[in-house]
């Protein structure tokens, strides 16, 4: 461990590395390679990855910051209740109590440092350091005693860049799919046919009289939705599918149906009829489907979960893909 002066320690002082994000990226973003360690539980880490290096440096930097903090343990931390600036305790018993509390708090700090140092997150970093020391026969780069960069900040930037990259790819992908769906006036009919062939229980889809119109009937839920496609001038196919509620025979659409309609119309991929039909089908058992967040059917105001959120990882075995959705109460979303 280098003995950097405390001036080099970031002033922010918070340990806020978004660990779960990093771990996710660390594991997704690499061709795994087993570390050069005899340790049987050596984790698979890609040390070529910049993200891996920066996140490890951020962890080391955070540990060093904590070392500086622990240096205040004796005598300042322990004797804090005795500093003259503080109001004198009311009684010797009170002073004893204050001292005891100060000691407990400081010991807890030491324990948390130890568990961080020996924790599973640091393990691969330490074995990497060890293997590098071995490789170089102990001939190490001499530290300047200063951290040249604030790796916590660098790490956040890196994660942000990775996220933007991922979003760009997704946007491009959607653009390709959209162009395909809008390649001809007839593409939507093929989508309706494919959906009908899947025979989704509890849902019937019927082509309407007008061009670009479909009815979706959810028998068990007692709901009928009318779906109409809007076109942009000069572009074939449909630019946006809109959903409206059709009253069941002899009745007007329920409040529940209107809530479902609102959620359907606030979806993403408004051009995508296949996505919309999958989303409508997620309501076939609306009166039996519990909320993924609170696991209940009705919330405190007796509302059923009407919100649907497309799952970020879609099962990939279907081509074209079938979208799946999470069920949520409006109050839980």
Q: Does residue number 259 form part of the binding site for Zn ion (CB under 5 A)? A: no
Residue nearest to Zn ion (CB): 291
Q: How far is the CB of 200 from Zn ion (least distance, A)?
A: 24
- Interface residue with Zn ion among 293, 297, 310, 333 (CB under 5 A) is 293
CB 2 within 8 A of CB 145: yes
Q: Tell me if 329 contacts Zn ion by CB under 5 A.
A: yes
Q: What is the DSSP secondary structure assignment for residue 252, as one 8-state letter?
A: P
CA angle at 30 for the pair 28 and 32, rounded to the nearest 5°: 110
CB of 271 to Zn ion, least distance (A): 30
The nearest distance, CB 298 to Zn ion, in angstroms, is: 9
Give the shortest CB-330-to-Zn ion separation in angstroms. Answer: 9
Query: By the 8 A CB rule, do 264 and 280 touch?
Result: yes
DSSP letters for 45-84: --TT-HHHHHHHHHHHHHHHHHHHHHTTIIIIITTGGG-T
The burial class, CB within 10 Å (0-12 / 13-18 / 19+), for 58 is buried
Stretches 41-49, 80-88, 186-194, 321-329: which one binds Zn ion (CB under 5 A)?
Answer: 321-329
In the bound state with Zn ion, the residue whose beta carbon lies nearer, of 99 and 292, is 292
Q: How far is the CB of 297 from Zn ion (least distance, A)?
A: 9
Given 294, 310, 330, 333, the residue binding Zn ion (CB under 5 A) = 294
Residue 258 phi, psi dihedral angles, 5° rounding: -65, -35
The residue (of 66 and 329) whose beta carbon lies closer to Zn ion is: 329
CB 66 within 8 A of CB 14: no
The residues that touch Zn ion, with contacts defined as CB under 5 A, are 291, 293-294, 329, 332
């Amino acid at each position: 461990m280098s003995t950097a002066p405390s001036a080099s320690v970031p002033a922010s002082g918070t340990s806020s590395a978004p660990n779960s994000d990093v771990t996710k990226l660390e594991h997704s973003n690499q061709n795994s390679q087993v570390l050069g360690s005899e340790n049987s539980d050596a984790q698979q880490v890609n040390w070529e990855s910049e993200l891996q290096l920066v996140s490890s440096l951020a962890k080391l930097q955070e540990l060093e910051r904590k070392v500086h903090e622990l240096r205040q343990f004796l005598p300042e931390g322990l004797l804090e209740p005795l500093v003259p600036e503080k109001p004198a305790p009311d009684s010797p018993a009170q002073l004893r109590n204050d001292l005891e509390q100060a000691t407990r708090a400081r010991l807890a700090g030491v324990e948390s440092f130890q568990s961080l140092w020996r924790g599973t997150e640091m393990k691969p970093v330490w074995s990497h350091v060890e293997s590098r020391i071995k490789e170089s026969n102990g001939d190490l780069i001499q530290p300047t005693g200063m951290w040249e960069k604030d790796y916590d900040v660098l790490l956040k930037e890196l994660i942000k860049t990775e996220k933007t990259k991922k979003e760009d790819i997704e946007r491009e992908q959607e653009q390709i799919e959209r162009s395909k769906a809008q390649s001809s006036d007839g593409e939507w009919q093929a989508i309706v046919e494919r959906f009908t062939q899947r025979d989704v229980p509890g849902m019937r889809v019927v082509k309407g009289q007008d061009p670009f119109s479909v009815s979706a009937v959810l028998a068990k839920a007692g709901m009928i939705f009318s779906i109409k496609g809007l076109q942009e001038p000069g572009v074939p196919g449909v630019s946006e599918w809109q959903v409206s509620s059709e009253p069941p025979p002899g009745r007007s659409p329920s409040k529940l149906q209107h809530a479902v309609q609102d959620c359907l119309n606030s979806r993403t991929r408004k051009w995508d009829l296949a996505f919309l039909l999958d989303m409508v089908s997620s309501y076939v058992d609306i009166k039996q489907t519990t909320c993924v967040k609170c696991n209940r059917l009705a919330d405190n105001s007796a509302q059923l979960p009407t919100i649907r959120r497309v799952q970020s990882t879609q099962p990939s075995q279907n081509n074209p893909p079938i979208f799946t959705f999470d069920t949520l109460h409006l109050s839980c979303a």
